Amino acid sequence: MPQLDPTTFATQIFWLVITFGALYAILSRVALPRVADILAARRKKIDGDLDAAATLKSEAESVLKAYEKAMADARAQAQATLRQAAEDLAADAATKNAALSERLNREIKAAEERIAAAKNRAVDQISEIAGAAAGQATARLIGRAPDANAVRVAVEAAIKSGRG
């Protein structure tokens, strides 16, 4: 094997250095700068994407907070509206209830007045009817008509003694 022949070591090392130097020069001047540029571009793109993602995340969080605040405000507004509507309805119901109570009280008072008037008319008619009946009964019993004034006084006295 010629590689292991010590007489050819010098030429092999010479060509090794020349080949390695040429390869190193080609790689360091052509290939490695391109690879470095590609790696730098990738790094820059990744960093940009990470920055954009962080920005978008912070924007999403702020939008979420704004949404949650808007929802809370809307809920509070809805609660206030419902509370106000309930208060308005309660006040309206109280007003209608008071008006109805007042109307019913007036109707009750008017009915009581009509009942009292009817009772007084009935009592007055009872006195007249009782007087007429007593006058006729007395006329049949004694054979002559009694004095109308005396019959009226006697009937009123009997009615008063029956009440008291």
pLDDT in single tens digits along all 164 residues of the chain? 667 788 888 888 999 999 999 999 999 998 899 999 999 999 999 999 999 999 999 999 999 999 999 999 999 999 999 999 999 999 999 999 999 999 999 999 999 999 999 988 887 787 778 888 888 888 888 888 888 888 888 888 887 787 64
pLDDT at position 134 is 83
Residue 109: the pLDDT is: 95
Helices (H), 27-147: 32-142
CA pair distance 164, 77, nearest whole angstrom? 70
The residue among 134, 126, 139, 136 whose CA lies nearest residue 151 is: 134
CA angle 73, 74, 75 (to 5 degrees): 90
Phi and psi at 5, nearest 5°, equal -80, 120
* pTM of the model as a whole: 0.44
How far is CA 163 from its chain centroid?
Answer: 64
C-alpha–C-alpha distance, residues 69 and 46, integer Å: 34
- pLDDT, position 1: 65
